[in-house]
Structure 1
């Protein structure tokens, strides 16, 4: 089974206004709320493909109850560690432009963290764990490293979607997949990219450092998949970008769902690219129907 880990889940509260005036009363045009967090997004998109997953992480209070109940209504299994403080509410303010206010989140105690590690120790060699997103400030910087060490001990494959040092520190443990975007890859190697082909040498370096598969997304300029002995370049579909939130998570989910079904890297990459694009062209996360519409526009060529 696929397990997804979101260490600091949220209730994402999305408010649409025609205009916003600081210091004055503003009235919304519409509001919506969703369970948020990168791992949770992966679980929700996996569900679109009929792929089973179980969501792990920390939740607390009435907001935590909402997150759990919302996922259960979508028939997504959960096994969260319950903490004392409320899960956070993140505000996304849409007024032509999008502004975000992300809350700090609850304090995670040593006991809470030990409970999570015990859950991960119960996973088996046929399972896969997706570790996605940033760390709560109350957890140590070594958190991901501690968790993937457990995976290595128990033979669990794992995926990491994180930035900077969080990503660097897990590479020696041989993650099944990592997915930096071109900005994150540029920060790792202190460089910048204009074209998809330019990321290939740096993706190969990440593979040499331990990653089994590396996907680098470059928004409308395409995406690259690099493994030890091969590399693919994808031309992405064209469309109006309506949403930047969750596109990378959708790419990970589409890749994993297709790979679980076919064991074909090229096909998994194609579904990953289509899933990321479908979310970018939607106001929420992608649907299978939208992905199916875009698949024919994803052109992939082998470049190594």
Structure 2
């Protein structure tokens, strides 16, 4: 079973308007509300891949209750720690070919709540075979919190995939016990290493050669991915596709990576699976959704080449 962690989930609300009027009333006819957060997208795609998954993290208030209801409707098993403060809303206003976002920062957790989740997390690990940790940390938790989760997982022999950024990711990487894989994009890599890159192969290899990286997947959008697996490098290329909605494609990539690793597939198959689920997500309007009927067709079009 894959344990998918989301520490700062939200209800994602999408408003579509023809023209966004400032300092005026905007009436909305089309509203979409979904259980949001990177880890919840991961869990949804894992479930669509027909792999056993359990979604966890922290939730509070009526917004938290709504998120649980939505996960239950999608038949996604979940076991969250209930916290005192209300979980967050994230609003996206779609207008004139643009997207304006209003993102709540979310609840502030107490020290006791942070400790309580680590205890819950350790219990849930007993039935997990692999862990994914996705997204930002809520306020109140120290930046080394994910590092502690990775350490607990490693001590129990559970591989971990981390998809975060900034200081929380840096803390994970400088620790002795590292995750099995991370999935930063080139901008996040540059931020980590204070290295300006043009996202070319030479620049990426230079960054990935840094001692803090062992196993890593780097998102390159329509160019596919460059991967370092221990001392080996792989270039993954994908076919041209019609992109409908790129939001959540990184989460779908993590889901494919987790499923393939959990099934003990070869390196080539793992990379092809991850890129295929990422592609399929971009081809759908709904975030965190893939059309599984297209999986084999696009899997066969992904190319993996070992490079020097």
Q: TM-score range by the shorter chain?
A: over 0.9
Q: Secondary structure of the equivalent of 2:278?
A: helix
Aligned to 2:137: 135
Partner Cα distance (1:243, 1:25) in 2: 27
Q: RCO greater where, 1 or 2, for CA within 8 Å and sep 6 or more?
A: 2
Partner Cα distance (1:259, 1:158) in 2: 10
Aligned to 1:102: 103
1:251–1:272: 8 Å Cα contact kept in structure 2? yes
Partner Cα distance (2:242, 2:150) in 1: 38
Q: Secondary structure of the equivalent of 1:78?
A: coil
Deviations 1:82-114 (A, max 9, x none): 012221110011111111111021221222112
- CA drift of 1:203 comes to 1.8
Aligned to 1:11: 11
**Uncovered stretches (5+) of structure 1, i.e. residues with no partner:** none
Partner Cα distance (1:188, 1:240) in 2: 32
Partner Cα distance (1:74, 1:255) in 2: 21
Partner Cα distance (2:69, 2:136) in 1: 23
The one of 183, 187, 195 aligned to 1:183: 187
Deviations 1:10-47 (A, max 9, x none): 00011111111111222224111111111111100001
- CA drift of 1:7 comes to 0.8
Partner Cα distance (1:184, 1:65) in 2: 33
Root-mean-square deviation (CA, aligned residues, Å) is 1.8
- CA drift of 1:258 comes to 2.0
**Would you say 1:193 and 2:195 are equivalent positions?**
no
- CA drift of 1:286 comes to 3.2
Aligned to 2:305: 301
1:124–1:155: 8 Å Cα contact kept in structure 2? no
Aligned to 1:69: 69
**Would you say 1:263 and 2:265 are equivalent positions?**
yes
1:85–1:106: 8 Å Cα contact kept in structure 2? yes
2:272–2:304: 8 Å Cα contact kept in structure 1? yes
Distance 1:3 1:290, change over 3 A: same
Partner Cα distance (1:106, 1:276) in 2: 30
**Would you say 1:85 and 2:85 are equivalent positions?**
yes
- Give the 5 Å matches for 1:42-57: 42-57=42-57
Q: Secondary structure of the equivalent of 1:77?
A: coil
Partner Cα distance (1:143, 1:119) in 2: 14
Q: Secondary structure of the equivalent of 2:54?
A: strand
Partner Cα distance (2:50, 2:251) in 1: 16
1:242–1:281: 8 Å Cα contact kept in structure 2? yes
**TM-score, reference length from structure 1:** 0.93
Q: Secondary structure of the equivalent of 2:251?
A: helix
Aligned to 1:273: 275
- Give the 5 Å matches for 1:19-30: 19-30=19-30
Distance 1:125 1:231, change over 3 A: farther
